[in-house]
Amino acid sequence: MRLNTPESVLRVNRRALIAALLAAVLCLVAVNLPIWEFSATVFAKKSGNTFVGDEKYQAVKAEVEAAAAAYAAENGGDPRIVENVTERTNSKGQKTSMVAFEVRQTMRRTGWDFVRSGLAAGKVLLAMVLCMLAAAVLLCEGLLGAMDTNWPELMPRKRGLRLAAAALGLAALLLVPVFMMNCNLAFSRWIRLATDGFPRPGTDALLHTLDGFLYGGTAGEKTLELMAGVQHRALWPLLAAMPLLAAFALCAVVCADGDPRHTLARVLLFAFIIVLCVVILYPYYVMVITGFRSNAETTDMYFQHMFPTKWVWSNLKDIIDRGVPRYLLNSLMLSVGATAIALLCGIPAAYAMARMHFPGRKAFLGFVIMSQMFSPVVLLVGISRLMNALHLSDSVLGLMFINAAFNQAFAIWLLRGTFVSISSEMEQAACIDGCSTVSALLRVLVPISAPGIVTTLIFVFINAWNEYTISTVLISTASNKPITVGITQFSSFNMIEWQYLFAAALLATVPVVILFMCIEKHLAAGLTAGGVKG
């Protein structure tokens, strides 16, 4: 229900405007407070083979204190001296200790320091502040003279202004995490990479900027060394800016739309959907980028890119050489065979269940549901013995039958749901005309219920294609393995060839995902129809 009376709109608009301006002002204040804290070592000295308080210790301590004083004289601030004592036994068996002195300097930098420093994070911050200011101006302009009017009667131009304000507020909100991420990159990740010998391009310029930003240009060559030990964290004003900005963006959206509940619900809906989709797609992204990387890149902990530096298409060729086409062919045969058997047995059974009354009908339904309780995994011992007795183990044919049998319940269930939902008038007419029940099924019911049958077909196909457990127990010959078992050859205990594993996984996944997307619309309906009316 939308709030559309002039009074309520007036009230909402007024509240939202006040809240938005308050949030904007507070954000600007927050940016002026110290937002990032660094705890850096400006001088370090170790004293080994010593005791706390002895001569050597005193000498080193004096040296450290002098260094701290010199630092304070030069840069100001309040350096602290930290002692770290480690007890150890030396080669002669005496107990000594090793004392590590550090002169630590806690530095706080405000938002304006960041903006002036020339760091990328500073530019992000500047963009954020500009967004906020522009949003506040647009919001005031958009609401000017509109406070007493019902919102649908407002000039469209003004509504556009308020929407723009909302968008800018949202952009400012999203820039906060970008800023924090950028700080983490500049102060930790890139420094770590440079220290470990994998500098990324532009590290020298970054170090120069950091020198100016933190050490007032005094560190020079030693910046990298100093930065390696820096600990840093965001301070509360920055963290407080996030909820404030969120409140601002929300207020602006409310002013633009006029119905806070509706707006909030919409925002939450989209946030949820976006997060869900990102999480769901993430493993597929990993599969794609890893499948086409070189082996060195898949296991490189210093890898700096979100995508392969070079797409290695030869991975595909390598897996083809290692038998993947054979596995895919086996999977295809297995799934087609299983689907055919399951449908040949399932369609008549579902037909009888949907169209005929006979004693034992309920019992059969109960039996079908009970058979769902037993997964092949629990019955593996029994299945493998049975297959041995039938001489079907280690063959694709055996897998076909097992998959068909364990999908039978689902097939009957789905098909019965489809058949029940179709009126039997036409078949009755056909029967009266002298048609047998067989031709009533084949000529009348099957063509009408084709969508339901195709859904069942694809569902069984996919289940058989994705089946892993039975195959891994029953199949031992390499040339009989389906793809789900075949890809495990790329992951042995001591060495996993991730790039081959995922390239093969992609080949196994893509066709099935496409098939599933085709039946997505009908599948769920079939599932419930079959289940509820049972």
Q: Rule CB under 8 A: which of 168-187 touch other proteins?
A: 180-185, 187
Q: Which of 205, 216, 300, 450 binds other proteins (CB under 8 A)?
A: 300
423 near other proteins, rule: CB under 8 A: yes
Smallest gap from Cβ 264 to other proteins, in A, equals 11
420 near other proteins, rule: CB under 8 A: yes
User: Of residues 269-298, which lie at the interface with other proteins (CB under 8 A)?
Assistant: 269-270, 272-273, 276-277, 279-284, 286-287, 290, 298
The rounded radius of gyration (Å) of the Cα atoms in the chain is 35
DSSP assignment of 235-286 equals: -HHHHHHHHHHHHHHHHHHHHHHS-HHHHHHHHHHHHHHHHHHHHHHHHHHH
How far apart, in whole angstroms, are the C-alpha atoms of residue 390 and residue 382?
12
How far apart, in whole angstroms, are the C-alpha atoms of residue 161 and residue 143?
9
Q: Which residues contact 181 (CB under 8 A, 6 or more apart)?
A: none
What type of residue sits at position 222?
K
Q: Which residues contact 143 (CB under 8 A, 6 or more apart)?
A: 13, 17, 158, 162, 255
- How many residues does the structure list for the chain? 534
Smallest gap from Cβ 82 to other proteins, in A, equals 20
495 near other proteins, rule: CB under 8 A: no
| Order of all β-strands in the sheet with 80-89 | 80-89, 95-110, 34-50, 231-234
Smallest gap from Cβ 40 to other proteins, in A, equals 15
User: Of residues 236-265, which lie at the interface with other proteins (CB under 8 A)?
Assistant: 265
> Dihedral of CA 180/185/189/195: which sign?
negative
Which DSSP symbol is given to 200?
A: P
C-alpha triplet 296, 298, 300: angle, nearest 5°: 65
Smallest gap from Cβ 347 to other proteins, in A, equals 9
Residue 246: how many other CB atoms lie within 10 Å: 17
341 near other proteins, rule: CB under 8 A: yes
Residue 70 or 329 with smaller CB distance to other proteins: 329
Smallest gap from Cβ 344 to other proteins, in A, equals 7
Candidates 3-11, 91-99, 167-175, 408-416 — which segment interacts with other proteins by CB under 8 A? 408-416
Smallest gap from Cβ 209 to other proteins, in A, equals 16
How far apart, in whole angstroms, are the C-alpha atoms of residue 465 and residue 483?
8
Residue 237 or 482 with smaller CB distance to other proteins: 482
Backbone φ and ψ for 110, nearest 5 degrees, come out as -85, 170
Q: Which of 11, 222, 385, 443 binds other proteins (CB under 8 A)?
A: 385
Candidates 142-150, 157-165, 322-330, 375-383 — which segment interacts with other proteins by CB under 8 A? 375-383
Q: Which of 218, 263, 294, 509 binds other proteins (CB under 8 A)?
A: 509
Smallest gap from Cβ 464 to other proteins, in A, equals 11
352 near other proteins, rule: CB under 8 A: yes
* Residue 232 zone, left/alpha/beta (φ > 0; ψ -120 to 50; rest): beta
Q: Provide the pairing of β-strand 80-89 with 34-50.
A: unpaired
Smallest gap from Cβ 281 to other proteins, in A, equals 6
21 near other proteins, rule: CB under 8 A: no
Q: Which of 30, 383, 457, 475 binds other proteins (CB under 8 A)?
A: 383
With CB under 8 A, what is the number of residues at the site for other proteins?
116
Smallest gap from Cβ 307 to other proteins, in A, equals 11
453 near other proteins, rule: CB under 8 A: no
Q: Which of 214, 346, 416, 474 binds other proteins (CB under 8 A)?
A: 346
502 near other proteins, rule: CB under 8 A: yes
361 near other proteins, rule: CB under 8 A: yes
Contact flags string 34-73 toward other proteins, x per CB under 8 A: ----------------------------------------
Nearest to 135 by CA among 274, 30, 252, 272: 252
